[in-house]
Amino acid sequence: MESMLLDAAGHRRSPATMPGFHRGRPPRNKGEQYPADPPTVEESVAVMRTIGDRVEGHRLRAMIVLLWRAGLRISEALALQESDLDRSRDAVLIRRGKGGKRREVGMDRWAWDQLDPWLEIRRQLPIGAVLCVIHGPTAGRRWEASAARKQLHRAAATAGVRRRFAPHQLRHAHAVEMAHEGVSLVVIQRQLGHANLGITSVYLQGIDSSEIISTVHGRPSPTISATAGLQMTQ
C-alpha cells in the first residue's frame, strides 16, 4: 500500500507539492513560441499594486522587481541567496546563470526600495533562498517556479492585464525599457547574460513599430556641399 504524505499539521499532502516532483518532466508549454510582447510600465505597476500587503504579496512583488528591474531569468531569481544581494553597490550576483555562467548585474534604487519590505520579512525566516517558502516545515527553502508562475498569473488577472504576463515577459520589458533610455546594446547584452548580441536584438523586437516609424520619419534631409555640382554626362 502506498504511504500517505502528511504535512506538519497532519493533513494529507499531494506528492505534487513536494520539492523536485516536477524535476525531469517537460513543461506543458514546451516547444511553444510566444511573441516578444512585454508588459507596459503601467501594467507592471498595476499588478504590483493589486498584490496587496500580505506576506505572500511582498514575496511576489520582490520577484517581479528582480525580473523586471534586474532582468533576471526566473530560475536565476529563485536561486538567489541573501548574500547575493549587495545593496551598497546596487548589485545582484547570479552565481550560475544559463550555461553555468556567473555574472553581476545592476538594479536601480526604486527597485531596492520595493524589495526592502520582503527582505525585512525574510530575516525572520530560516536562512536560505531570497524567494522562499513562507509557511510550514519547509519555510526558508527555495520557492518552486510552478507556484511562483501561478501566483503571478492570478495577480495579473486580478489587475485586469489583458495580455500574457509571464516571468520572461518582464525580462523582455527590462531590455526594451533600457533600450528606450539609450543604454547601449552591449550593456544590455551583459546585463541579461546573453552569449551574443543576436539574442539581445530578439528581445528588442518588443519595441513598438510606431516608435520606429516616427524615428525614421524625423530624420534630417540629406545635404550636399554647396560646391558639389550635379553634372550629367552625355
* CA-derived radius of gyration, the chain: 23
For 82-98, the pLDDT digits (tens) are: 999 999 999 999 999 98
For 190-216, the pLDDT digits (tens) are: 999 988 888 888 777 766 555 555 555
For 184-196, the pLDDT digits (tens) are: 888 989 999 988 8
Out of 4-18, 48-62, 165-179, least confident range: 4-18
Please tell me the pTM assigned to this model: 0.75
203 labelled catalytic = yes
98 labelled catalytic = yes
Q: Which domains are assigned to the chain?
A: 35-207 (1.10.443.10)
pLDDT tops 50 at residue 1: no
162 labelled catalytic = no
Distance CA 13, CA 173 (A): 37
Of the listed 98, 103, 149, 164, which one is catalytic? 98
Of the listed 73, 122, 172, 174, which one is catalytic? 73
pLDDT tops 50 at residue 163: yes
What letter does residue 125 receive in the DSSP assignment?
S
168 labelled catalytic = yes
Of the listed 168, 174, 180, 219, which one is catalytic? 168
Instruction: Answer whether 68's CB lies under 8 Å from 47's CB.
Output: no
Of the listed 58, 61, 122, 171, which one is catalytic? 171
Per-residue model confidence (pLDDT) at position 44? 95
Express as a percent the part of the chain with pLDDT over 90: 55
Per-residue model confidence (pLDDT) at position 204? 78
